[in-house]
Amino acid sequence: MNILHVVEDEPAATSTIPVGGHSVPTKDLRDGVRRLRAEALPERGLSKTLAQVGVRRPQGMVATVRRAALFRKLQRAGACAAAVLSVAFIGWVRYANVEPQVDIPVQIMPKANALDTWEQAYAATGNMKLVEKVLGVHAKLPTSPSPADLKAWKQLVVDNSKAFSLIRQGLGEEFARKRVTSYSELMPEWAHFRSLGRLMALEARVQLETGKPDEALATALDLMQMGGKMQGSGAIIGRMVGQTVGEMGRSVAWKVADSADLKSARHAVMRIEELEKRRVPVSQSLREEMYSGQSALQNTMRGGGWRNELASAFGIIGEADDPIKRNAIKLALYAYTKRGVMQNYTHALEEQIAKANLLPPVMEFVEPKLDILTSVLAPIYGSLGFSDARSVVDNRMLMVANALRAYRLENGAFPEKIDDLKGKYLKNIPRDPFRPAESLCYQRTSSGYKIYSVGPDGIDQGGKPFVNHNDYSVGNKKNPSLQMESVGDIVARTEQN
């Protein structure tokens, strides 16, 4: 039995223990033993201590003490590393959650808002489902309605007289829609307004069928004005719905452009000139879209789980079927900071805003390299400039057509050149958005005239209608849809002498 065991086994009443011819207090020895067991001693110090107390060093004792000392060092190092990591993680979380500072202008809403008036008009519609059924998806009516069809249309117009009154009241008011501040916010009003546009198209068609072309033209111009107001609402969806409603009006206006009287033709020119004057630039719509996105981001980031909320709202996590992949995506999202997400989103929109008003419109929009989160938060609106240019061309060609109609009614023939319209019939000769330095093209022909734009390819082909060298035109060769890749001119229909 060695002295360590002796000390531990010695009764507490024993005050001293003989060690090497000396009497050593039991209490001191016990304290020493406890320290030996609790703390590692260097090999030399341990050997010296054991020699002094007259105990031979057990085999392997030093190795055991060394292992214990190493383990304790590793424990301390691990604890320090864990503490450092914990501090770093807390620091990162605090840094990542610093609220971004963005300058979002205060939106001022008009007191008399056409949006509210048109919502009242939609609520006042008599049988909108029947109107939708009659008009179909694209607001196209039969070319030659039967007497029964025409009777039903007339009744629908009568039943919705209050709605028509409210629609026209809204034309005299400003139009503004409150910014979207949440990704879950619904916007049913745009579908309502598109339906109101179809109702107006039905009224114009009834006026045409009952021999009232001038009234039909006025209704068509109301539709175009309604669409123009929606395009100026700020939201991208409002711009797209507005273009659709405006096209409904133009399709009717073209039908009566060659039969309008002098007063109606002049009035049409003035109204379209005013519409073009008030046209909101695409860049302004994109900027307002950016403000809405920034507001929605700010509100989402106020929650603790903002990353997962964003990923879930845009389907980033839902696209991953594998649970491991979903968890990996969630973990990867922790690399994003609030300020970083906001900065990336703002930069992506600012890049598009800078290119939005370029003329001719950018045809080959290079999609920027975006991270997984910014790519869904900031969609690419590369085609907005193109679709806006097409809308401008359509409006301006219709304006010229009405000016030509007025010229002919007063002079008995069409002018030889488009510049003859300037002053009395047109304030200015409208430019071609696809060739900004030049005006729209005009040709006097033996059977009437031809108005055209050079189209997306920017080449004057003498009024040769555009064609599409892709699959999009296969199903509609008679009236193909204009594409960025279309080759040829955008030609308006010609009036006969």
Q: What is the pLDDT of residues 223-278, one digit of tens each?
A: 999 999 998 877 789 999 999 999 999 999 999 988 899 999 999 999 999 999 99
Percent of the chain past pLDDT 90, that is, above it, reads 42
State how far the Cα of 452 lies from the Cα of 445, in Å rounded to an integer: 13
The first and second tokens of residue 17, run together, are 């223990």
DSSP-assigned letter for residue 182: -
State how far the Cα of 229 lies from the Cα of 246, in Å rounded to an integer: 10
Contacts of residue 405, Cβ cutoff 8 Å, sequence gap at least 6: 257, 258, 260, 265, 495
> Which range among 31-35, 58-62, 74-78, 409-413 has the greatest average pLDDT?
409-413
Residue recorded with tokens 């969806």: 237
- Structure confidence at residue 477 as a pLDDT band (50, 70, 90): very low
pLDDT for 309 equals: 82
- Structure confidence at residue 497 as a pLDDT band (50, 70, 90): very low
> Residues in the chain, how many?
497
pLDDT tens string 159-171: 899 999 999 999 9
pLDDT for 476 equals: 39
CA 19, 23, 25, 26 torsion-angle sign: positive
pLDDT at 138 over 50: no
pLDDT for 55 equals: 55
Mean pLDDT of 300-308: 84
Contacts of residue 270, Cβ cutoff 8 Å, sequence gap at least 6: none
CA 80, 81, 82, 84 torsion-angle sign: positive
Report helix, strand or coil for 24: strand
- Structure confidence at residue 490 as a pLDDT band (50, 70, 90): very high
* Host H or E run for residue 328: helix 323-332
- Structure confidence at residue 23 as a pLDDT band (50, 70, 90): low
CA 479, 485, 488, 492 torsion-angle sign: positive
> Which range among 95-99, 280-284, 305-309 has the greatest average pLDDT?
280-284
- Pairing type for strands 435-439 and 441-445 reads unpaired
* Bigger pLDDT: 474 vs 40: 40
436 prior amide bond cis, ω within 30:
no
- Pairing type for strands 431-432 and 435-439 reads antiparallel
Taking alpha carbons only, the member of 177, 179, 189 closest to residue 297 is 179
- Pairing type for strands 441-445 and 490-491 reads unpaired
pLDDT for 416 equals: 92
Mean pLDDT of 174-191: 90
State pTM to two decimals: 0.78
Q: Can you give the C-alpha Rg of the chain in angstroms? A: 40
Residue recorded with tokens 């360590």: 4
> Any long-range contacts for 131-135 (C-beta under 8 Å, 24+ apart)?
131/156, 131/160, 131/195, 131/198, 131/199, 131/202, 132/195, 132/198, 134/202, 135/198, 135/201, 135/202
Strand partners, 431: 439
